[in-house]
Amino acid sequence: MSEEARWYVVHTYSGYENKVASNLEKTVENRNMQDLITDILVPTEKVTEIKDNKTREVERKIYPSYVFVKMVLNNDSWYVVRNIRGCTGFVGPESKPIPLSDEEVAALGVEKKNVEVSYTVGDTVRIVEGWLDGFIGTVQELDTERNRVSVTVNMFGRETRADLELSQVVPVDD
């Protein structure tokens, strides 16, 4: 088995995501398994809901009935996770745990990577990745929370706006 902690997806009964996560955290703490099961996550997002002409912010689960667990897979960790009340099994063929790939982890937004940026709105930047690779543009908006930057580039004599990830852009040295 692998000695590196990887992300796995656990299927739960509907509405039991938080209960499964808290029970799993308690079990890990009680059995002193922090080195095997390192992180437990129920991804949520804040949504503005309008009901009866009233606006309120609600926290909604992004993936209902699923809990993400970062763990080193062995018989002990598998047994602990599998036998938590409300857990129906791992996501994978025949309920065999299959770790998420790095691309899947990034696409699902399970792990947030903080990217330090050395540019601000109005700065000139070079695009180093993607379909606009090599273009020079001007930063219009910067959203470090969502890992996005909006850049305006000059294409065929027209200003074109591109929404990119922070890591796809580097500042231009004067």
Number of domains in the chain: 2
pLDDT band at 125 (very low <50, low <70, confident <90, very high): very high
Choose from 24-28, 127-131, 148-152 the range with maximum mean pLDDT: 24-28
Average pLDDT of every residue of the chain: 87
Q: What are phi and psi of 15, to 5 degrees?
A: 85, -5
CATH number of the domain at 12, please. Answer: 3.30.70.940
Q: How many CB atoms lie within 10 A of CB 95?
A: 11
Residue 17 pLDDT > 50, yes or no?
yes
Q: What is the pLDDT of residues 26-78, one digit of tens each?
A: 999 999 998 999 999 998 888 888 888 888 888 888 899 999 999 999 999 99
Q: 29 with 55, same domain?
A: yes
Q: 96 with 24, same domain?
A: yes
Question: Exposed/middle/buried for 77, CB within 10 Å: 0-12, 13-18, 19+?
Answer: buried
Domain membership of residue 117 (yes or no) is no
3: left (phi over 0), alpha (psi -120 to 50) or beta: alpha
For residue 148, the model assigns a pLDDT of: 84
Q: 21 with 101, same domain?
A: yes
Rounded to two decimals, the pTM is 0.65
Residue-range definition of the domain harbouring residue 134: 124-171
